[in-house]
Structure 1
Amino acid sequence: MRPTRSSAVSVSPAETITNAIIERLEAGVRPWRQPWTGGPVSRPLRVCGTPYRGANVIWLWMAAQARGFISPTWMTYHQSQLLGGQVRKGERGTCAIFYKSYSKEVEDPATGEREDEARRVLKSFTVFNVDQIDGLPARFTPEPIPLPEPTARDHALDAFFGVIPASIRHGGGEAYYLPSADQITMPDPAAFRSRDLYRSTLAHELAHWTGHQSRLARSLGNRFGSDAYAMEELIAELASAMVGAELGLPVDHLDDHASYLASWLKVLKADNRAILTAAAKAEEASAFLLGFARVAHAPDALLAA
């Protein structure tokens, strides 16, 4: 999220934001949509509680997601000091933008008369998320929306996912599987809009987990943009959809991966058997995961959900 600069060219705030959005889209992530919320407020907020508008909304959403911030509120260094807070040492700020209006006297080339012309210039300033600041009043501490009380179906699904021996770390704002550590990272369940969206996202990451060399031994850890990376993502998408179909989980979260479509099309157009290979490997991965339902001692409750 840091502005890109060279020794000769200074990048404007507009270019910084645009380039970052393009980068996220090219990485297969829609920066303005995710299945977790981080709290009851949807828009980023100024210190006074007023929502940000325009490009600042998307930009600050991206910053919060990339760096695992839960609070929706942002403020300047000076504003934090006025509230008795202190930005922690080493924390990096995020730029926000605004238009400054001014008037300039210009001469009409046709008449020679001078008149004031309204103009606007794009400016930027640095803000910090509440999660980066110590000592603020208690009202700035976000309170996640509590999930409803679990049902019998919830207990059955929790039993299924609970017996899968994957290493899962909770925290932050991103969901991913790291092959080198053989570990899944997930946002906290309470940060999702529903338990099922948490499970659907977890199923996708568990599909990647099945590909580890100690399990189904697929090719993992490939560079984004490569055919192998696109194929693995396609396998994980298909596998999570298969698991979701068996467990009664929603698949609307799959829209968050729609920007992978171009890379998938490239692979499928280059090899008309690629979809057959991906589907077969996805079936293998889903069967591997669904096999744990027997260990959970609740297959009927799961499959009837």
Structure 2
Amino acid sequence: MRHSRSTPPTSPAETITNAIIERLEAGVRPWRQPWTGGPVSRPLRVCGTPYRGVNVIWLWMAAQSRGFGSPTWMTYHQAQLLGAQVRKGERGTLAIFYKSYTKEIEDPATGEREDEARRVLKSFTVFNVDQIEGLPERFRPEPVSLPEPTARDRELDTFFAAIPASLRHVGSEAYYMPSTDQITMPEVSQFRTRDLYRSTLAHELAHWTGHRSRLDRSLGGRFGSDAYAVEELVAELASAMIGAELGLPVDHLDDHASYLGSWLKVLKTDARAILTAAAKAEEASAYLLKLGRAERPAELSLAA
């Protein structure tokens, strides 16, 4: 059966709203992460002025999900004017032009003239600098440099290297994939500090311990389900326990505040759930601490 009318196209506002809801339902606050992907900055126009309003959140999301390291965005035509070219096959990102203005109109009943508030909402397509070839060097982000490693850094790196997890560094998201038994992390240089990298890695390693070949926890369930909420709570508690042992910060835990609603639901339903989660977290942290310290009989000194 053919419809006489096609489905109306999704508006720019709906596109952005739906994408944000999708990320939030996946347990990710898209506007905050412990890594930066480059210098901390609002998204920038080609002229260097920052984007404002919803474009800030939206372009941050696009950069994070697609691993872009530059804060600067421009249209296809703007790139051409600079003698550059968007790489073949690159997909553009929606941006919003929003303007409020007043227009004088005449009331047909009274003949009086008055100002009426109006709004213009248009969309256009932009590309990140990372998608464009041949741009002047001034558009390339300066590499983020971390301080030289200390003796403590080397000890902690040795600890995590001793854990035989399959780990790859790519993109700008951190997650554990049970189906492939693999952890994905952004590069260390994308984090504000090495310790924030390690705290995030500890969280993903806690998930890794739940694989059926190790501690055999239930890792299934969709976001919002009790099983998902409990596993995330186990990973958070385990990473906090590991952090306490190794002297790592716990300020990254606030980045998982989007899980609080599902955790509260579980805890209010079952008063013993926190006991179970804490016990599983203790088991996971002990498993990781044993692996990380297996090569050395002495405890980590972690001297600053």
Normalised-by-shorter TM-score class: over 0.9
Gap runs ≥5 in structure 1: 1-5
Distance 1:143 1:182 in 2: 34
Partner of 1:84: 83
Q: Is the 8 A contact 1:70 1:173 kept in 2?
A: no
* Structure 2 counterpart of 1:236, one-letter code: A
Distance 1:262 1:233 in 2: 12
1:139-192 Cα shifts (integer Å, max 9, x gaps): 222222210011111111011011111111112110001111111110110010
1:216-266 Cα shifts (integer Å, max 9, x gaps): 111124322221111111110110010001111011111111111111112
Distance 2:6 2:175 in 1: 35
Q: Is the 8 A contact 1:200 1:250 kept in 2?
A: yes
Q: Is the 8 A contact 2:37 2:64 kept in 1?
A: no
Q: What's the CA shift for 1:299? A: 4.9
Partner of 1:3: none
Moved more, 232-241 or 106-115: 106-115
Q: Is the 8 A contact 2:151 2:303 kept in 1?
A: no
Change in CA separation of 1:298 and 1:247 when aligned onto 2, cut-off 3 Å: farther
**SS of residue paired to 1:136:** coil
How many residues are paired up?
Answer: 300
Matched, 1:239 2:238: yes
Distance 1:232 1:23 in 2: 20
Change in CA separation of 1:299 and 1:76 when aligned onto 2, cut-off 3 Å: farther
Q: How does 1:170-249 map to 2 (within 5 A)?
A: 170-249=169-248
Moved more, 275-284 or 92-101: 92-101
**SS of residue paired to 2:145:** coil
Partner of 1:37: 36
Partner of 1:258: 257
- TM-score normalised according to structure 2 size: 0.92
CA RMSD of aligned residues (A): 2.0
* Structure 2 counterpart of 1:267, one-letter code: V
Moved more, 45-54 or 131-140: 131-140
Q: Is the 8 A contact 1:159 1:296 kept in 2?
A: no
* Structure 2 counterpart of 1:208, one-letter code: H
User: Kindly, what percent of the aligned residue pairs are identical?
Assistant: 82
Distance 1:261 1:100 in 2: 36
Gap runs ≥5 in structure 2: none
Matched, 1:19 2:18: yes
* Structure 1 counterpart of 2:73, one-letter code: W
- TM-score normalised according to structure 1 size: 0.92
Partner of 2:271: 272
